[in-house]
Amino acid sequence: MYDTGPGSNFGTGEIETMTNSTSNVHLDGNGNLDITALNNGGSWTSGRIQTTSANVGAPAGGELEVTASIQQPTGGLGYWPAFWMLGPGQWPENGEIDIMEDVNSLSEVSGTIHCGTYPGGPCNEGNGIGSGLRGCGGCQSGFHTYTMILDRTNTSNESITFYLDGNSYFSVSESQVGTSTWQAAFDHNLSVIFDLAMGGGYPNGVCNCTTPTGSTASGGTMAVDYVAAYQTTGNGGGGGGGGGGNGTGPITGYAGLCVDVRGASSTNFTPVQVYTCNNTNAQQWTVVQAGSTLHALGKCMDINSGGTADGTTVDLYDCNNTAAQVFIPQSNGSLYNPQSNKCLDDTNWSTTPGTQLQIWDCTGNANQQWNLP
């Protein structure tokens, strides 16, 4: 889908307006997608497109590869092509992976991750942790492959590695930023984005000037031959709910009760509760989005109003890719919500059918242990 509007909306200092015009985003007739930046009397337009949801991620114990074949644009100072990924929720906590960036038509490439808090934090925001720009010979005259692999096979130290034409050139690991920061940023699905910005913090910082300039050429094009995402099967984690869940079925918890949608109603804000297991549709949960989002009756398990306080109730709501709908399975069986830094909790250790679930500080106790389908 298109992400349109002035570049000032994106918080990077870029100056173009992103449009849905075929002048800026189009198929070239030879199998490529072109994003072209145009100067119209000093007003620049360009294009930014993304997947319609956060739909690619690495399952617990598995790997995700996202790769694209791209020809970078020429045109001079101010050009800022990017192929990247963004998680749902609040930046930078929600995670960003910049698979390919170049600035100022230097025929270079950088790979970067963003996470944690802004400013500063474990990921040094707003710079992130990155490779820095390095040579990318021929990247403006032909297509080259830019790849990221998110590796969750080592559950104690996950990693992200960047590749140019199949050769790794930079890697960052969970141990560099801390487990909770990493999980919040990368243990869930992300959207895939292509955009061609003009001006902004990155190109200006590299040239120590204000871009674009009067000599910047109009019509520079980032051409995309293909983009693909590949996922390996996770190992299912371990313990209680473990890692990923690949099917649909009941989620069982304390005292053998099942997670249930009250009255089997798909109306927004319907309470999610514990109830006697009965194999009805109200108890058929699908674990999706890289093992982090729980669906039933066509909707998502959701923290009411995006709350972060102990005791905030859990209900059913339209799936919307917000951080209030991210529940990451942990090895001890808990379901962790990074935004609140809390876990799904059987309220007061209830054994009474009909008790609505809540979030609470993660304890690892039995009332926070869930067995996924």
- Distances in whole angstroms, Cα of residue 363 to Cα of each of 67, 185, 334, 356: 39, 21, 9, 19
Give the CATH number, domain containing residue 93: 2.60.120.200
Q: Which two tokens stand for residue 263?
A: 């009255």
Domain assignment present for residue 373? The answer is no
301 with 360, same domain: the answer is yes
Give the CATH number, domain containing residue 290: 2.80.10.50
Q: Which two tokens stand for residue 17?
A: 């307006």
Cis peptide before 353 (omega within 30 of 0): no
SS3 sequence, 36-86?
Answer: ECEEECCEEEECEEECCCCCECCCCCCEEEEEEEEECCCCCCCEEEEEEEE
37 with 180, same domain: the answer is yes
Question: Looking at the 3D structure of the chain, how many domains does it have?
Answer: 2
Q: Which two tokens stand for residue 265?
A: 């109603």
15 with 94, same domain: the answer is yes
pLDDT at 89: 84
Q: Is 1 exposed, middle or buried (0-12, 13-18, 19+ CB in 10 A)?
A: exposed
Domain assignment present for residue 312? The answer is yes
302 with 224, same domain: the answer is no
Instruction: List helix spans (H) across the chain.
Output: 174-177, 179-186, 201-207
CB atoms within 10 A of CB 78: 30
264 with 197, same domain: the answer is no
User: Long-range contacts: 295-299, Cβ < 8 Å, 24+?
Assistant: 295/319, 296/261, 297/261, 297/264, 297/265, 297/266, 298/266, 299/266, 299/268
pLDDT at 247: 67
Give the Cα separation of 224 and 35 in Å (integer). Answer: 8
Mark which of 201, 231, 261 sits at the end of a domain: 231
Cβ-contact 69, 206 below 8 angstroms: no
Domain assignment present for residue 243? The answer is no
Three-class secondary structure of residue 304 per DSSP: helix
274 with 354, same domain: the answer is yes
38 with 80, same domain: the answer is yes
Domain assignment present for residue 46? The answer is yes
pLDDT at 331: 79
pLDDT at 238: 33
Domain assignment present for residue 159? The answer is yes
84 with 130, same domain: the answer is yes
Three-class secondary structure of residue 351 per DSSP: coil
- Say how many CA atoms lie within 13 Å of 334 toward its Cβ: 20
Domain assignment present for residue 113? The answer is yes
Note down the domain range covering 74: 5-231
pLDDT at 242: 36
pLDDT at 116: 95
pLDDT tens digit sequence for 305-349: 999 999 999 999 998 878 899 898 887 899 999 889 899 999 999
Chain centroid offset of residue 70 CA: 21
Mark which of 231, 256, 288 sits at the end of a domain: 231
- Say how many CA atoms lie within 13 Å of 221 toward its Cβ: 17
Q: Which two tokens stand for residue 214?
A: 């009067």
Domain assignment present for residue 317? The answer is yes
34 with 136, same domain: the answer is yes
Three-class secondary structure of residue 207 per DSSP: helix
Closest of 338, 258, 331, 347 to residue 293, by C-alpha: 338
User: What amino acid is encoded at 49 in this protein?
Assistant: I
Give the Cα separation of 93 and 350 in Å (integer). Answer: 32
pLDDT at 37: 98
Domain assignment present for residue 149? The answer is yes
pLDDT at 21: 98
pLDDT at 235: 52
pLDDT at 243: 38
Strand partners, 6: 17
pTM for this prediction: 0.73
Within the chain, which residues score under 70 in pLDDT? 234-247, 289-290
52 with 109, same domain: the answer is yes
95 with 183, same domain: the answer is yes
Cβ-contact 37, 217 below 8 angstroms: no
Mark which of 205, 231, 257 sits at the end of a domain: 231
User: What amino acid is encoded at 246 in this protein?
Assistant: N
Please give the backbone phi and psi of residue 212, each rounded to the nearest 5 degrees, phi first. Answer: -70, 165
89 with 173, same domain: the answer is yes
